[in-house]
Structure 1
Amino acid sequence: MNLSPLEIQSIIERSFLPSVCTCSVAPDQSLTIRVCDCMTGHVDLVATHVPLWKLDSVHGIATLVAEMRQQIQSQKNVKPTFYH
């Protein structure tokens, strides 16, 4: 399956709704993906240098999105440590 970069961006961005996700393609054909909380604007995750050529199938995109969601969730589960 040959998806265009715009199609890949659109699929990824919609996959993170209701969070705000933006993708940009670098000259080296890699993606930068930024996911922000829609209520607070807090940046949940920024992934850089994601190889666009590895996202040439729905499976490749789904795997990336699942890994990123897992990273975001694991960061949200980390409780701050306070020292007295």
Structure 2
Amino acid sequence: MFLSTLEIQNIIERSFLPSVCTCNMEADQSLTIRVCDCMTGKVDMVATHVPLWTLDSPHAIASLVADMRQEIEVHKGVHPTFYI
């Protein structure tokens, strides 16, 4: 199954709703994916150099989204600790 770049970007962006997700194609045929909180605008995650050629099936795209969602959840509860 072959999906166009625009279809892949659309699937990924819609998968993160209600968060704001943008996918940009880079010169090396990889994607940069940025996910931001829709209420605060805070960047939750930026994934760079995601190889487009590995996103060749719905399963591959779903796995990428699931991995990214898991990574976002792991880091949402992390607050920096400062010692004086």
Bin for the TM-score computed over the shorter chain: over 0.9
- Alignment of structure 1 residues 7-46 onto 2, 5 Å: 7-46=7-46
Unaligned runs of 5+ in 1: none
| Structure 2 CA distance for aligned equivalents of residues 81 and 40 of structure 1 | 21
1:51 aligns with 2:63: no
1:42 is aligned with what amino acid? K
TM-score, length basis structure 1: 0.95
| Structure 2 CA distance for aligned equivalents of residues 20 and 79 of structure 1 | 22
- What's the CA shift string for 1:14-69, capped at 9, x where partnerless? 00000000001112110000000000000000000000000010000000000100
| Structure 1 CA distance for aligned equivalents of residues 27 and 74 of structure 2 | 31
- Alignment of structure 1 residues 68-83 onto 2, 5 Å: 68-83=68-83
Unaligned runs of 5+ in 2: none
| Offset of residue 82 of structure 1 | 3.7
The number of residue pairs the alignment matches comes to 84
RMSD of aligned Cα (Å): 0.9
